[in-house]
Chain A
Amino acid sequence: MMNNDDFEQLVYKKADKLKSHDRHMKMLRISVVPVAAAFVIMSLIGINSINLPSQMSSSENLIAEANRSNNANETYDKKSDSLQLDDEYQTPLNEVGELAEATSAYNAGEIDVEKSAENDVADHSQYVDSIASESVTFKANDTITITDQSAVDEICQSLSNPLSEYVGNASQFMCVIMINNTEYRIYHDKVKVLYNGSVSGEFDLSEDTKNVLQKYFPIVF
């Protein structure tokens, strides 16, 4: 048998172990209960996954914002991550590759995209049937949203703008690019920068910028 001091030490050691165990169990209960409750609630209301605002990509946020504020004739379909244009403009051409292809076919404010677009929209099979059945036409003032991040980065870099999303709007100017509240009016040889409708700057349009814009946008300089 142990002497009294050793026994006392053993008691306190066991007590510390018990306390530590209790703390651990308490933490487990704290962390498990809300998660379990959340899953129960989700299952009750039929939600299979949560997309928190912080987890949404910046492009999704900006596109949603752009859709809300600027475009009366388009809606952003979050589920399919694609842009839908109203009526005769309905098209899956929200992918950069498709826009680049459209650019090459662009002619004096009007382009035709034939059934070959089917190949480019394999990921959007729900639209394939409608695309196959009709030609798509771009006109002046059409609004195009580019969601491809690398394309957006390239365009923003060409405009020396650090923002990461833009909505282009073909108009009587060569092109108008909206990045949040900043408007870039693209002319043949210059870019005017407007902030909240007021001109805040102007710079020459370089050949590099032209190339980048031409790559992604139906512009002929």
Chain B
Amino acid sequence: MNPSNFKHIILIVSFLCNVSFGFGQETNEKNQSGSDKNQKCLKCHGNHTFKYMNEDFGLEIKEAMCSNRFIDTIAFAQSNHGMFKCTDCHSPEYESFPHAGNLRMGLMYACNDCHGGDPEYAKFHFDEIEEAFYESMHYNRAPDAFNCWSCHNPHSYKTQASKGGKISETVTYDNNICLKCHADISQFELLTERENINILKTHNWLPNQELHFKNVRCIECHTQLNDSLLISHVVMPKENAIRECTKCHSENSRLMASLYKYKSMESRKSNGFINAVIINESYVIGANRNKYLNILSVIIFGLVLSGIFIHTLFRIFKRK
């Protein structure tokens, strides 16, 4: 082989290798999951126990991880914030161990510290959500203690309805957010002095309680509807909660403006079924209306009554 050709081949191959490996390296860095980047933190916080070396006495100590400092690594990886490094939100000083005590005095970021005024997140209406939150009973009862994270665990939160998931999964997911405090006194008493919580008892009036709890989100009745938000954040005092059945069980079902809002927005152009999006996954008496069946039933009923009327006329005229 001509030495000059050989030199060219070497140059081309080395260029290709460089380009491919170079790009590959960049892509791998981009795709590096949060858990990889956070390996150092999750080594302790991703487990129920952790070990550290007591340098003074040369002892390896194993301790239990405090439950509210434990991070479910799978839930975190799947969450909306799963791509972040721990130190994107927490102080970089946490990278040293033992962590300095004063770090815990620092205030946590709220949603709008990152999302506020960002056109990229405008579709999520974070600014309106914040305004609604300040109107909510939750904030007004405990302004110092209640914040975004009281409901939305930053380490596991993921959007549900807005991504068009199954309604039943959305209901379970969203209700679990409420039940985290409202069915657990240890969490509940962090935010209030009230001691007795028994949502089964307070909802005794609700017919088919179990069925409602499984298929309807707490927020359908306990929040003010909001036209511009997919999920209202104005949680109302219990005295203002919806109690009229027909708010949901009617043609103008409230569920269409809340639980089924995303799906109704998606299928707004389709015609035929009134409240069709409810029909796709469930059955809500009074809210499920089928336009064609309605017309057909009116026609059949009209024909029967017309037949009876005409027959009656003949009987009258032929009576003699």
Asked if A pairs with B, the answer is: no
- Please report A residues at the B interface, Cβ cutoff 8 Å: none
- Please report B residues at the A interface, Cβ cutoff 8 Å: none
